[in-house]
Amino acid sequence: MLDLIVIGAGLTGLVAANAAAKAGLKVKVIAQGLGALHWSAGTVDVLGYYPDERTLVEQPLHTVRTIKARPRHPYALLDETGLKDALQHFALLTKAIGLPYLGASNADANLSLPSPVGAARPTFLAPLAQLGGDLGSGIPSHGAPMLIVGLRGMRDFFPELIAENLNKQGHRARAAFLPLDLITDRRDSNTVQLANGLDDPARRSKLAAELKKLVQPGERVGLPAILGMTEHAAVMKELQAATGAAVFEIPTLPPSVPGIRLNTALRRCIQELGVRVEVNMRVAGFHAENGRIAWVETETSARPLKHRAAKFLLATGGLLGGGINTDHTGRVWEVVFNLPLAMPAQRGEWFRPGFLDPAGHPIFSGGVPVNRQFQPADANGSPAYANLWAAGGVLAHADSIRERSLEGIAIATGIAAAQHVIHASNGDDSRP
C-alpha cells in the first residue's frame, strides 16, 4: 500500500513528492501532463509586486510578513519560517541535483533579471545561468555593460528589442547577431531543438569561437536560454572560457529550456528515491468511504486503473495547469474531486476590461480553499476528506501570475503540505 499519491507532476507535485519520499514515505506521482515549468522563465518568483501591481517588492521575505493582512493567501497559511525554509530547501535540492538555483548576494532581496522584451523581472531564485543578467546589485558583476546576442532567423528571441528597452531603463546594452545555421542544420527549430543541438561539442565550439569575436572587454554576454539541455553546465563553461566574459541566459518564448531542465532534474531526483512518476494519466473518478479517499481511477488506453493510497495530495494546478475547469454557463469545478471552490459568483465577474489591469482578473484568484494544514476545507476549517491535502496553483486566494509568486507558492505550499502529510503519517496505525 502506498503512503501517498501526489496528483500532478508540476513544480508543486515534484517538490512535495521529494519531501515525502525523503521522509521515508512510499510515494507515487500520477499526472495528466508535465506542469507549467515548460512554459515559464524557469526562475523562482516568490513575490514581485504586492499589494498591487504598481508596487515593486524589493525584499519578498520581508514583505511576505505583511500578507497576514490577507489571512487566506497561501503564504499566510505557512509557519513563520515556512517560506524561507522551503526556499532554502529548494536551493540545496537544486544544488544536489546539479542545477543550482541562487539568489541575490543580499539573501533577502529580489533579483532583477532581463525579460525577453528587456523589462526587469523581479524574481528571487534563478538558475546559475540566468543570474549573470541581474540588473540590480544582486551579483558581483552588476553594472557591467551587456552584449545581447541573438541568432538571425530564430523567431523567439529579439536582441535589439531587449537592448533598446534595457537602454531606456538606464542599463548599458547593445545587440548583435550570429547566424542561426552556426548551431543548427534544421530548417525549423524551436528552443528545445536548439538546446539539444548545443549538447554537441562541435556545435558549441563553433558558437564559442564566433561569440569571442563579438565580445568587447568588460562586457557580460546575454544569450537566449538554449545553451544546452543535458550538457548545459559544459556549454556554459566553454562559452565563458572562450569569451572570457560572464555569459548568461535570457528566457525565451515557450517551450522553456530552463523550465524543462528543472523539470527533468527533479523527476530524475525523485525517481532515484523510488517514486514512480506516471504521466498521461487523467483522473476520471474517485471513491470515498467514511470521509476518506479510498482510490482514484485514471483513464488509460486499455482500461481504467484504480490507484489506492493512504493519503492523497492534490497538485493539479489552477486554470493554467488544468486542475480547475470552466464552461460557458459560468460553472467552475475542480476536476479531480469536485471540491468546493472560492470563486467569483458569475461569469460576468470573472474579468476586468483591461488585459493589463493592475488589479488582475478576479477568476484567477479563485481556487480550492484550504485550512492551515493545507487540507481542502469548509469555512470552519473542517477537511473535505480526512486524507486529502492540496498545494500549488489549485489553491484559492492568490493570483500568482499577477503578483509573481507562481513558483514560490508551488514550492512553499508543496513542501508544507508534504510536511503535514508526513506529520499525519507518523501517528498513523494504518501504516505497515
The C-alpha cell of 168 is what?
Answer: 531606456
264, 196 contact by CB (below 8 A) = no
Q: What are phi and psi of 105, to 5 degrees?
A: -65, -30
Quote the least distance from Cβ 295 to another protein, whole Å: 27
Q: Which grid cell is 255?
A: 517551450
All three cell numbers of 282: 487523467
Min dist. Cβ of residue 127 to another protein (A): 14
User: What is 368-402 written as a DSSP string?
Assistant: B-B-TTS-BB-TT--BSSTTEEE-GGGBSS--TTT
CA gap 134, 110 in Å, rounded: 10
Contacting positions for another protein (CB under 8 A): 36, 39-41, 45, 53, 115-122, 153, 155-156, 158, 160-161, 164-165, 168-169, 186-189, 251, 253-254, 256, 318-320, 322, 325-328, 330, 347-348, 350-358, 363-364, 401-402, 404, 406
Q: Which residues contact 186 (CB under 8 A, 6 or more apart)?
A: 193, 197
**Closest to another protein by CB, 3 or 407:** 407
Q: Judged by CB, which is closer to another protein: 143, or 153?
A: 153
Q: DSSP code of 68? A: G
Say if strands 324-326 and 305-314 run parallel, antiparallel, or are unpaired: unpaired
Residue 357 C-beta: closest distance to another protein, Å: 8
Other beta carbons less than 10 A from residue 259's beta carbon: 25
Instruction: Give the nearest distance from C-beta 14 to another protein in angstroms.
Output: 18
Locate 428 and state its grid cell.
498513523
Q: How far is the CB of 378 from another protein (least distance, A)?
A: 26
Nearest distance from C-beta of residue 110 to another protein, angstroms: 12
Output 55 or 426, the one with its CB closest to another protein.
Answer: 55
Residue 51 or 98 with smaller CB distance to another protein: 51
- Closest CB to another protein among 20 and 411? 411
State which residue, 36 or 270, has the beta carbon closest to another protein: 36
Q: Closest distance between another protein and the C-beta of residue 140, in Å?
A: 24
**Cα 343–345–348 angle (5° rounding)?**
110
- The grid coordinates of residue 21 equal 519520499
Identify which of residues 3 and 134 has a Cβ nearer to another protein in the complex.
134
DSSP string, 301-316: SSS-EEEEEEEEEE--
